[in-house]
Amino acid sequence: MTNNQITNQDVQHLAKLVSLPLTDDRLNKLVDQITTTFEYINTLQAIDTDSTQETNQVTGLENIMREDVVEESRMLSQNQALQNAKHTHNGYFLVPAILE
């Protein structure tokens, strides 16, 4: 990571990519926050961790999960699943498009 400062244009470009309208105040705040985050990342990257032992789990706890078993008694038929849907098409739920 470099020490380059993020610019208003960078944040405006990102906001445009995700269709996020920004006021000037919010834009300036985001630039400051992202710059601070990058500075923190640069600080972390400067730390010498070559002699540090890797860890991936420190509590000793384990996830306890059940077997992934299909319970026929809990299954709905396609008609049952769609019976309360406002809009369907060829046996599928029909929902409004969210992407242009």
Q: pLDDT tens, 20-47?
A: 999 999 999 999 999 999 999 999 999 9
On the 0-12 / 13-18 / 19+ scale of CB atoms within 10 A, 11 is: buried
DSSP 47: S
Q: For residue 9, tell me if it sits in a domain.
A: no
- Provide the residue range defining the domain that includes 36: 21-46
Nearest to 8 by CA among 36, 26, 17: 26
pLDDT-derived band of residue 3, with 50, 70 and 90 as boundaries? low
Q: Using one digit for the tens of pLDDT, what is the confidence trace for 44-68?
A: 999 999 998 888 888 888 888 989 9
Q: For residue 42, tell me if it sits in a domain.
A: yes
Q: For residue 30, tell me if it sits in a domain.
A: yes
What percent of the chain is predicted at pLDDT more than 70?
96
Number of domains in the chain: 1
Q: For residue 27, tell me if it sits in a domain.
A: yes
Q: For residue 33, tell me if it sits in a domain.
A: yes
Distance, in Å, from the CA atom of 78 to the CA atom of 4, rounded to the nearest integer, reads: 55
pLDDT-derived band of residue 1, with 50, 70 and 90 as boundaries? very low
Nearest to 42 by CA among 94, 1, 98, 91: 1
Q: For residue 56, tell me if it sits in a domain.
A: no
Whether the CB-CB separation of 34 and 41 falls below 8 Å is answered with no
Q: For residue 76, tell me if it sits in a domain.
A: no
